[in-house]
Amino acid sequence: MEIFLVVCAGLVVYTYVGYGMLVWLLVKIRGRRPALKTDAVFAPDVTLIVPAYNELSCLPDKVANSFAQHYPADKLHFLFVTEGSTDGSADFLRSKYGNRIAIMEGTERRGKVAAMNRAMLQVKTPLAIFTDANTILNPEAVQNLVRHFRDPKVGAVAGEKRILTNDSESAAGSGEGLYWKYESFLKRLDSDLHTIVGAAGELFSVRTALYEPVETDTILDDFIISLRIAGQGYRVAYEPDAYAMERPSFSIVDEQKRKVRIAAGGFQSIVRLTYLLNIFRYGWLTFEYVSHRAMRWAVAPLCLPLIFLANAWLAIRELGIAPSGQYGWTVLFILQCIFYAAAWVGYRLEKKNLRWKLLFVPFYFTFMNVCALAGLVRYLKGNQSGTWEKVRRAGEVERTYGL
């Protein structure tokens, strides 16, 4: 039992801390990738694709932000996908912006992935960039993404996701911001070592010729698309100076729905990307994929309750069944109880729209892993859908969030 607990704890520590330390060390030994040279001449044609299901409330800002990109106007094309929208999005775009943008519309709601597959059939440019309608890009985003494609070995480029929070935000929103800062750090290391494993759907670009139509019930389309490109032998680069900014979820309930859906998509992705587990064929890609993604979705969340139960049994044995005069396991169990109690208090405060920074880490760590287990249950039940789902963002009216 002691060995079992130590092994499980080691897997959790490796997943959240050890992997980052190991990749940092490997990058230090191998050296970072040379900085990209800026070349204003490199400006291929690009199509900016914006899936926008019932996003009328944020379309004016999104269009203005898209037009404000620092990229040659004759090289940047816009395709807004309003398929299935019932809020007049297509009519608004058509009447307001005329021939400046292309609109893909339709009366049937087939889901984001089906819409993306159809949209890519219309793309004639060598590069395509996906971005969500409810995000704002920095003016240099397109330019900074595109420059990576001068390297023929780069098949896709992921931008950075940034969560805009303020002092009055919920714990979930603040925790999400901390999580993405850590994710950005890991992505930089992954990119320097070999390739990143999974792009954020808020902003990522691909070579049009490498895009493979995705199953329409796919939840994590951005992850599947980028990993399949990596599986073809191309790098997925990371560009932190191309970023998409969005508000955190409106409430803990909204964030929980989103996290459970993402976790279910993670298990779905593991099944569909089983071939990437062949380290003899994919090498560094397999190492990064398993360590950074698969273990976080499928190993660590399962290990945590096992650690707690094993520790409880060892503490009981230490105190009563076979007292030894040593209380190491008991102390560890008490510390676990304190940690999860802090997480529970953080959750209760969050339900009352109260926040306490001291509880961010235990609350959000526990919250993520509980959602991962709930996502596993959802996946096993087969409750998958590729359609857009509603989520509310802080400071906003109800909007859609494509996942």
- H/E element holding 127? strand 127-131
Per-residue confidence band for 170, with pLDDT thresholds at 50, 70 and 90: low
Taking residues 292-320, report their average pLDDT.
91
Average pLDDT over all residues of the chain: 85
Exposure string of 11-32, with b = 16+ CB inside 10 Å and e = fewer, is: bbebbbeebbeebbeebeeeee
173 has pLDDT over 70? no
Per-residue confidence band for 310, with pLDDT thresholds at 50, 70 and 90: very high
- Report whether 276 contacts 285 (CB < 8 A): yes
15 has pLDDT over 90? yes
238-276: pLDDT as tens digits: 998 998 887 665 567 777 888 899 999 999 999 999 999
Among all chains, which residue has been given the structure tokens 């969340």?
301
Map residue 276 onto helix, strand or coil: helix
Comparing 245 with 13, the larger pLDDT belongs to 13
Per-residue confidence band for 284, with pLDDT thresholds at 50, 70 and 90: very high
Which residues, in sequence order, are CB contacts of 10 under 8 Å at separation 6+? none
Among all chains, which residue has been given the structure tokens 């009519």?
91
46-88: pLDDT as tens digits: 999 998 888 888 889 999 999 999 999 999 999 998 877 888 8
Identify the weakest region by mean pLDDT among 86-90, 107-111, 280-284: 107-111
Residue 144: how many CB atoms within 10 A of its CB? 21
Nearest to 200 by CA among 234, 162, 168: 162
Nearest to 150 by CA among 241, 239, 230, 226: 239
Task: Specify the length of the chain in residues.
Answer: 403
Ranges 224-233, 339-348, 360-369, most confident = 224-233
- Ordered by where they begin, the domains of the chain are 1-32+251-389 (no CATH), 46-248 (3.90.550.10)
